[in-house]
Amino acid sequence: MNGEAPLEALVALWRDYLKRHRSVHSPDVEELEDHLRAEIATLTAAGLSENEAFLVAVKRLGNLDELSREFAREHSERLWKQLVVGGDGEEESEAETSRRKELLVVLGLASLAALAFKIPELFGVHLFARDLAAQAFYARNLSLFVFPFLAAYFVWKRAMGSGGIGAIAAAFAGAALLVNLYPFHPDGQTLLLTFVHLPIALWMAVGIAYVGGEWRSRARRMDFLRFSGELFIYYTLIALGGGLLSAFSLVMFQAIGVNVMPFVSRWLLPCGALGAVIVGAWLVEAKQSVIENMAPVLTRLFTPLFTLVLLAFLATMGWTRTWISIERNVLIGFDLLLAVVVGLVLYTISARDPEAPAGAFDALQLLLVLAALVVDSLALAAIVARISDFGFSANKVAALGENIVLLGNLLGAALLYVRFLRGKVAFTILERWQTTYLPVYFAWAWLVVALFPPLFGFR
Closest Cα to residue 193, out of 445, 457, 454? 445
Judged by CB under 8 A, the stretch of 58-66, 162-170, 225-233, 286-294 that binds another protein is 58-66
Contact flag: residue 39 with another protein (CB under 8 A)? yes
Query: Cα separation of 375 and 340, whole Å?
Result: 13
Question: Which residue's CB is nearer to another protein, number 60 or number 100?
Answer: 60
60 contacts another protein (rule: CB under 8 A): yes
- Is residue 67 near another protein by the rule CB under 8 A? yes
CA distances from 398 to 194, 236, 313, 332, 395 (A): 11, 27, 25, 9, 5
Which of 9, 16, 17, 74 lies at the binding interface for another protein (CB under 8 A)?
Answer: 74
Residue pair 166/436 in contact (Cβ under 8 Å)? The answer is: no
For the CA atoms of 125, 269, 195, 335, what is the dihedral angle to 10 degrees?
-160
Neighbours of 262 (CB within 10 A): 9
Query: What does the H/E/C string look like for 200-264?
Result: HHHHHHHHHHHCCCCCCCHHHHHHHHHHHHHHHHHHHHHHHHHHHHHHHHHHHHHHCCCCCHHHH
Q: What is the CA radius of gyration of the chain?
A: 28
Which of residues 4, 16, 31, 187 is near another protein by CB under 8 A? Answer: 31
**Min dist. Cβ of residue 103 to another protein (A):** 23
Binding of another protein by 62 (CB under 8 A): yes
| Contact present, 144 and 202 (Cβ < 8 Å) | yes
Q: Which of 48, 64, 116, 425 touches another protein (CB under 8 A)? A: 64
Binding part of the chain for another protein, among 36-44, 262-270, 388-396, 437-445 by CB under 8 A, reads 36-44
How many chain residues are in contact with another protein, going by CB under 8 A? Answer: 24
Which of 9, 16, 26, 35 touches another protein (CB under 8 A)? 35
The minimum distance between CB 94 and another protein, in angstroms, equals 13
| Residue 19 interacts with another protein (CB under 8 A): yes or no | no
According to the binding rule CB under 8 A, does residue 432 interact with another protein? no
Alpha helices by DSSP H, listed for 123-217, are 132-157, 162-181, 189-210
CB nearer to another protein: give 18 or 106. Answer: 18
Least separation, in Å, of the C-beta of 134 and another protein?
Answer: 55
- Residue 216 touching another protein (CB under 8 A): no
Contact criterion met (CB below 8 Å) for 180 and 172: no
Helix H or strand E segment including 296 = helix 294-320
Binding residue for another protein (CB under 8 A) from 14, 54, 71, 147?
71
Cβ pair 337, 372 in contact under 8 A: yes
Binding mask 306-345 for another protein (x = CB under 8 A): ----------------------------------------
Fill in the per-residue mask, 242 to 261: x = in contact with another protein (CB under 8 A), - = not in contact. --------------------
Q: Is residue 95 a contact residue for another protein (CB under 8 A)?
A: no
Contacts of 434 (CB under 8 A, 6+ apart): 222, 225, 345, 346, 349, 409, 413
Phi, psi of 127 (to 5 degrees): -65, -35
CB of 4 to another protein, least distance (A): 22
| From 33-41, 112-120, 387-395, 433-441, span contacting another protein (CB under 8 A) | 33-41
Nearest CB to another protein, comparing residues 75 and 419: 75
Q: Which of 6, 30, 244, 429 binds another protein (CB under 8 A)?
A: 30
- Name residues whose C-beta falls within 8 Å of residue 20's C-beta, 6 or more positions apart in sequence: none
Binding site for another protein (CB under 8 A): 27-28, 30-32, 34-35, 37-39, 41, 60-64, 66-67, 70-71, 73-75, 90
